[in-house]
A and B are shown apart, each in its own frame.
Chain A
Amino acid sequence: MAAILEGRHESAWAALWSRLLQDRVGTLCLAVVLAYLVLILASILGLVSADWHREVGVPYANPALLGETPQPQAPRSPGAGRARGAAPDLSAVDPLAPKYAEWARRTAELKVSEPQRSLTLAWGGDRWGRDVLDKAIKGSQVSIAVGVTAALCATLIGTLLGALAGFYGGLRDDFLEWLYSVFTSIPSILLIFALAAVLRSGWLGQVFAGGIWTVVIILAATGWTGMYRLVRAEYMKHRARPYVLAAEAIGASAAARMFVHILPNVSHVILIQLSLLVVAFIKVEVILSFLGLGVPIDMVSWGTMLAEAQTELVIGKWWQLAAATAFMAVFLTAFSMLTDSLRDALDPKLR
């Protein structure tokens, strides 16, 4: 009996998998998303883009395709500008005059190594000569990590509260419905700004300073409501179904019924909403980081890249804008279309 149930259980996911693979667009999108995940894993492990902050090229190095152009801001080696015209002799009045010789000698003793800066980089360089391609990969890691972590947190909150409200009903439901109406009556952008203000100046911001956690908290605290609503509706539908009543009859506790019996049966709703949240949160993270309310300044995300790109575009340096936009658009398009395919595969009735 157990073996049969086990077999049936496996075949449900196997059927989902085969339905997803039948969808050619879905398979392609899955491949793109997996490629990003591999890239991010490599970036976390330090295999690629580990030193994205190193200034490897000249400032605003051209992309390799464009070739070298005469650089207006050529790298200045120390002392390059000193030889311009003979300085008037001030040694009679200059109180520091006797020390110049000693300083010059000491300066000469110091070894200053000017790193070899290349004139072109694969996808160009930014203001400091950092490789834009490396930045885009590191930025993908940060932006996607923020989106996925925040979506998981929002899912956890929304599922837990939705399960409580939908399963028990009554006073607990009334209270949570009130909480939901409070959170949804505030326009989300205002809630985000209020949380950002509090986290900027409050003690919580100091606790979580210097990482992605402040953005994750902002996004999760504002984004759980949709998940709560969906999960609550599903639990209300399921709580009186025969299988749940049967579980109660054999003595399953309320917690067991909620999370062992009902949860797997509503997991497809949660999975779809989770992927929708990832897309939405990545977009918001990019805007917050652009405004300086997101990831800290020593990190790079697609949003901080766009913030730099805005001023670069005015002097004709378009490649950072192109890199951030391309990396973001490809990922979000693939992820959204994968979500659509997943929804079709999970719910064959929709077709």
Chain B
Amino acid sequence: MTAYILRRLWQTVPTLGGVVLLVFFLFKFFGGDPAEILAGQVASPEQLDAIRRELGLDRPWTTQLWHFLHDVFTFDFGKSWMTREPVSEIFLTRLPATLTITIPILLLEVCLAIPLAMLVAYFRGSLLDRVAMAVCVAAMSVSFLVYIIVGQYWLAFEWGMFPVQGWSDDLWRNLLTYAPLPVLLATLVSLAPQTRLYRSFFLDETKSDYVRTARAKGLSEPAIMLRHVFRNAMVPVLTNVSLLLPGVFAGSFLLEIFFSIPGLGREIYLAVNRSDYPVIQAFTVYLAALTMLVNLAADVLYRLVDPRIQLK
């Protein structure tokens, strides 16, 4: 197991290197001139030169790449161009708010979608199944934006069941007062595609030989579903959950923008609007690295669920 983890970590090195190169060259060769962005519309050539010297833009690009690599590995991306806040501090202070939203969403949607999918798979081919699937397709065709706009307007603004927006410094207050509406909306929206997907996993399992055997020995349908199909279907379900895991870092950016939640997603959106390159670069590199680590953790956990899988 340790050898496996070490080998996987070693394999992430070229990928992470590629991410750093991609981000560097993307901004270096396709991005705007940092000096012009920083100095604004009216700046003398001397001012522009001074900024270029300060940022090291007058050196050859290989030197700049070396400095960029140095920044990545020392976790020091300098300061935001606009707010002068250190980038690493922005990252660490915005992360908790994002996780306060995304972790409840992930838990709720998985815990609700599995029983729902099992239910529609149990009644496969019936009217309930077909109506549920049609509703899922239609619900998936409405933009997430519409759910947020309508939900925020009716539930919060008109009926006053939730605060329209806001955030505090207290975790419990956030969880109980400000998070419920965004969490509810996101869960409702992701429920349709998740249910549809998990239903297909359950249906795949119901066609296998062990189900026929269980039926032949006279087990009741609910017992087959709960005791045999459920366990086997959990393997693809968990694979899918591990694909959802990286989304906990930036997946809630729309909710953060609508509900003024000071999280990572909203911060990146603001940085894009202000052309705040250090923030965007740092967030991209670090979230890619975090994603790789989460994926590795998911693969290791996977082994614990399904002993048939051999880690090589």
Residues of A within 8 A of B (CB): 178-179, 181-183, 185-187, 189-191, 193-204, 283, 286-287, 290-293, 302-303, 306, 309-310, 313-314, 321, 324-325, 328-333, 336-337
Q: What is the CA–CA distance of A309 and B153 in the complex, to the nearest angstrom? A: 11
Q: A197-B275, A287-B254, A302-B143 are in contact. Are A313 and B153 (CB under 8 A)?
A: yes
A-B contact pairs, 15 of them (CB 8 A): A179-B18, A181-B18, A182-B15, A185-B16, A185-B292, A186-B284, A186-B291, A187-B246, A194-B23, A195-B26, A198-B32, A200-B275, A201-B32, A286-B145, A330-B141
Closest chain-B Cβ to A312's Cβ sits at a distance in Å of 10
Set of chain B residues within 8 Å of A186, measured between Cβ atoms: 19, 22, 284, 287-288, 291
Set of chain B residues within 8 Å of A286, measured between Cβ atoms: 143, 145
Set of chain A residues within 8 Å of B257, measured between Cβ atoms: 291
Asked if B14 contacts A178 (CB within 8 A), the reply is yes
Stretch in contact with the other chain, from B85-93, B166-174, B224-232, B265-273: B265-273
| Chain B contact residues: helix, strand, loop or mixed | helix
Residues of B within 8 A of A (CB): 14-16, 18-19, 22-23, 26-27, 30-32, 37, 137-138, 140-146, 149-150, 153, 157, 246-247, 249-251, 253-254, 257, 265, 268-269, 271-273, 275, 277, 280-281, 283-284, 287-288, 291-292
Residue on B with the closest CB to A200? Answer: B275
Residue on A with the closest CB to B274? Answer: A197
Asked if B15 contacts A181 (CB within 8 A), the reply is yes
Q: What is the CA–CA distance of A336 and B193 in the complex, to the nearest angstrom? A: 12
Q: Of B153, B280, B288, which is within 8 A of A197 by CB? A: B280
Q: What is the CA–CA distance of A133 and B291 in the complex, to the nearest angstrom? A: 43
Q: What is the CA–CA distance of A313 and B148 in the complex, to the nearest angstrom? A: 12
Q: Of A201, A290, A333, which is within 8 A of B31 by CB? A: A201
Set of chain B residues within 8 Å of A194, measured between Cβ atoms: 23, 26-27, 280-281, 284
18 new A-B contacts at CB < 8 Å, known A195-B26, A313-B149, A336-B141:
A179-B18, A183-B22, A186-B291, A187-B249, A187-B291, A189-B250, A189-B251, A190-B283, A191-B284, A197-B272, A198-B30, A286-B145, A303-B145, A324-B146, A328-B143, A331-B141, A332-B140, A336-B140
Q: What is the CA–CA distance of A302 and B141 in the complex, to the nearest angstrom? A: 13
Most B Cβ at <10 Å: residue of A186, A200, A332: A186
Set of chain B residues within 8 Å of A203, measured between Cβ atoms: 30, 32
Asked if A329 contacts B272 (CB within 8 A), the reply is no
Q: What is the CA–CA distance of A328 and B141 in the complex, to the nearest angstrom? A: 7
Asked if B149 contacts A329 (CB within 8 A), the reply is no
Asked if A178 contacts B27 (CB within 8 A), the reply is no
Asked if B37 contacts A201 (CB within 8 A), the reply is yes
Closest chain-B Cβ to A280's Cβ sits at a distance in Å of 11
Set of chain B residues within 8 Å of A331, measured between Cβ atoms: 141
Q: Of B27, B137, B145, which is within 8 A of A306 by CB? A: B145
Q: What is the CA–CA distance of A324 and B143 in the complex, to the nearest angstrom? A: 10
Residue on A with the closest CB to B37? Answer: A201
Q: What is the CA–CA distance of A309 and B146 in the complex, to the nearest angstrom? A: 10
Q: What is the CA–CA distance of A181 and B291 in the complex, to the nearest angstrom? A: 12
Closest chain-B Cβ to A306's Cβ sits at a distance in Å of 5
Q: A178-B14, A186-B284, A329-B142 are in contact. Are A310 and B149 (CB under 8 A)?
A: yes
Closest chain-B Cβ to A187's Cβ sits at a distance in Å of 5
Q: Of B22, B142, B153, B265, which is within 8 A of A189 by CB? A: B265
Set of chain A residues within 8 Å of B22, measured between Cβ atoms: 182-183, 186
Asked if A287 contacts B27 (CB within 8 A), the reply is no
Q: Closest 10 CB pairs between A and B?
A: A201-B32, A182-B18, A332-B141, A333-B141, A197-B272, A201-B275, A329-B141, A202-B31, A186-B288, A198-B31
Q: A178-B18, A186-B288, A306-B145 are in contact. Are A202 and B137 (CB under 8 A)?
A: no
Q: A193-B280, A194-B284, A203-B32 are in contact. Are A306 and B149 (CB under 8 A)?
A: yes
Q: What is the CA–CA distance of A314 and B152 in the complex, to the nearest angstrom? A: 10
Set of chain B residues within 8 Å of A302, measured between Cβ atoms: 143
Q: Of A178, A197, A291, A321, which is within 8 A of B146 by CB? A: A321
Residue on B with the closest CB to A336? Answer: B137
Set of chain B residues within 8 Å of A310, measured between Cβ atoms: 149
